[in-house]
Amino acid sequence: MKAISIYIFFFGLSFMVVGQDSVLQQYINIGLESNLALKQKKSSYEKSIEALNQARAYYLPEISLNARYTIANGGRVIDFPVGDMLNPVYSTLNYLTSTDAFPQIENQTYQFYRPHEQETKMELIQPLINPAIGYNYKINKELLKASNADLNAFKRKLVGDIKTAYYSYQKTVRLQHLVKETRTLLEENIRVNNSLYRNDKVTVDVVYRSEAELSKLEQNEAIIMKNNKMAASWMNFLLNQAFDTEIKTLDNIDLLMGLISLENAEELAFVNREELDQMDYYMKAGEYKLKLNVANGYPTVFAAVNYGIQGTNYSFTKDDDFFLGSLVLRWNIFKGLENKSKIKQAKIELDQIVTRKSQISDNIRLEVTEAYYSLEAAAKYVQAVQKEKESSTKAFNVISKKYGEGMVNLVEFMDSRTTMTTAMANFIIARFEYKIMEAEFERVIGTYILPLEANDNINFK
């Protein structure tokens, strides 16, 4: 109950933040619908569904139509000494009656294979007692659940990747705006310095210094432009769109600075992470596999029913049809210790799954710890650079006024301007890096609510 209440609290905060950025949510929906890697995962999940349907089908009877028409020549013969058995009797009867009423007959010879023969029948086979069918179905059911958990884990990672790409792109857009504003300031500074130089108010090195600052800005602008294009391409790649598709810009950015405790974050992760559920399903499937191998030593019973026609030619009279019903017991008493080896293998696989789950639990705990402290540090960094930006902006306004009045030199002015621009850039970077860390923290504790799909409501009975 404690974990559930924490989950509801944190979900409320996350929902509020996501609700404020409907554009990002729209992109997430597009990615969950169109991402190519996710489509491959969905195909694997759908394949698991069909495997479960196939396992369920073994409960049903098997009905088949079998037809055979045979032409035979030669082969074994059957000698029937009917003449040797009856002729002495007939001779005696003829002697006693003084007649020839009982003629002598020849011995008969019959071909074992009839020259022409057909058999056409419908056959129904229904398993009655077969533990392997039940365990096989249960195994596939657990594997389907594991496949669904794997699919949802990939969806959660995709959501985190889309958020990261989105915030990375928005960061470059904000930096481009800052470069544009700074360019306007530097170009104006070059214009003023050129005017001062023409009027012999400053030396030519002042002009060169201003032009050098603009060149440095252009270098940074080229790097930002490259990062912008790459971030947009990555975003469109995740959404399965053309790489040059325009990405909508973000009007504002909300920062969720309140953190839950590390202990509560770990509890959420262990409740929500699909990787642990997946291991539980694999473990259950492994247990059923062990029972399946044990059950292979049990007897099985099935019923077989046949109805059809037989004869040398095809005809449909009451003398041609036949009916057979059978109850068949099969018990594999000894198979060269094969089943014993399978049982041992199943136990080893179970041990491996337990070890793997323990490893995943440790990895999740490490991920949560790293994401928690990274987000905590990012929040503190945002607050620090915000103060730096505010202070450097105020300082530049004062220096700029003094520079206009000739109270400070160009070096002080340019240094103040550079400090302010750097602080603004750091503030932009810090805010969006915080959002990226926030998306990663959300992923590792599993609080993003994934949308339900049609296959999520499969009846596993």
Residue stretches of the chain with pLDDT short of 70:
1-21, 75, 111-113, 251, 256-258, 336, 453-461
CA 45 to CA 296: how far, in whole Å? Answer: 29
CA distance to 377, 394, 401, 422, per residue, from 388 (Å): 16, 10, 20, 10
CA 286 to CA 143: how far, in whole Å? Answer: 10
Position 76 scores a pLDDT of: 75
Q: In what order do the strands lie in the sheet with 300-311?
A: 62-71, 116-129, 300-311, 321-330
Position 124 scores a pLDDT of: 94
CA 339 to CA 294: how far, in whole Å? Answer: 7
Q: What is the dihedral of CA 85, 86, 90, 96, to 10 degrees?
A: 50
77 phi and psi angles, rounded to 5 deg: -125, 155
Burial class (CB in 10 A: 0-12, 13-18, 19+), 85: exposed
Name the packing angle between helices 2-20 and 262-272 (round to 10°).
90
CA distance to 1, 187, 408, per residue, from 415 (Å): 57, 16, 11
- Do residues 32 and 451 lie in contact, with contact meaning Cβ atoms separated by under 8 Å? yes
CA 450 to CA 152: how far, in whole Å? Answer: 8
How many Cβ atoms from other residues are within 10 Å of residue 160's Cβ? Answer: 18
Q: How is residue 164 annotated by DSSP?
A: H
Position 454 scores a pLDDT of: 56
CA 136 to CA 150: how far, in whole Å? Answer: 21
Query: Is residue 378 left, alpha or beta, with left meaning phi > 0 and alpha meaning psi from -120 to 50?
Result: alpha
CA 27 to CA 230: how far, in whole Å? Answer: 17
Q: Which residues are CB-neighbours of 65 under 8 A, at least 6 positions away?
A: 120, 121, 122, 123
Supply the CATH classification number for the domain 2-34+130-297+335-457.
1.20.1600.10
Where does 21-64 have alpha helices with state H?
22-34, 36-57
Cα Rg for the chain, rounded, in angstroms?
43
Ordered by start, the domain boundaries in the chain are: 2-34+130-297+335-457, 73-113
Position 21 scores a pLDDT of: 66
* Residue that is written with structure tokens 């959660």 in the block: 156
* Structure tokens, 363: 């990895």
Q: How many residues does the chain have?
A: 461
Which of these, 56, 130, 122, lies nearest to 304 by C-alpha position?
122
* Structure tokens, 130: 């077969």
CA 264 to CA 7: how far, in whole Å? Answer: 9
- Do residues 446 and 156 lie in contact, with contact meaning Cβ atoms separated by under 8 Å? yes
Position 16 scores a pLDDT of: 40
Burial class (CB in 10 A: 0-12, 13-18, 19+), 278: buried
* Structure tokens, 269: 């992760």
- Do residues 51 and 142 lie in contact, with contact meaning Cβ atoms separated by under 8 Å? no
CA 461 to CA 452: how far, in whole Å? Answer: 20
* Residue that is written with structure tokens 């202070």 in the block: 391
* Structure tokens, 426: 């750091």
